[in-house]
Amino acid sequence: MKVRMATVNDIDLLIKVRFDYFDADNWELTVDKKNMIYSQLQQYYPEHLNKDFFAALVEDANEDIVSAAFLIISEKPANLYFPTGKTGTILNVLTYPEYRKMGYATKALNSLIDEAKNQNLSYIELSASELGKPLYQKLGFLKFEESHHEKMKLALI
Which residues on adjacent β-strands are paired with residue 94?
68
Query: Given this model, what pLDDT does residue 126 score?
Result: 95
pLDDT at 74: 98
Could you give the CA distance from residue 127 to residue 120 in angstroms, rounded to a whole number?
A: 21
Rounded Cα–Cα distance for residues 151 and 157 (Å): 19
Q: Where are the domains of the chain?
A: 2-138
**Concatenated DSSP letters of 53-120:** EEEEEEE-TTS-EEEEEEEEEEE----SS-TTSEEEEEEEEEE-GGGTTSSHHHHHHHHHHHHHHHTT
Q: What is the pLDDT of residue 157?
A: 78
pLDDT at 52: 98
Per-residue pLDDT of the chain (157 residues; tens, 9 = 90+): 899 999 999 999 999 999 999 999 999 999 999 999 999 999 999 999 999 999 999 999 999 999 999 999 999 999 998 999 999 999 999 999 999 999 999 999 999 999 999 999 999 999 999 889 999 999 999 988 766 667 777 778 7
Q: Is the dihedral of CA 47, 73, 107, 132 positive or negative?
A: negative
Evaluate whether 95 touches 103 at the Cβ level (below 8 Å): no
> Each residue of 142-152: b (16+ CB within 10 Å) or e?
eeeeeeeeeee
CATH class of 2-138: alpha beta
Hey, is 50 helix, strand or coil? Answer: coil
pLDDT at 154: 76
Question: How high is the pLDDT of residue 144?
Answer: 80
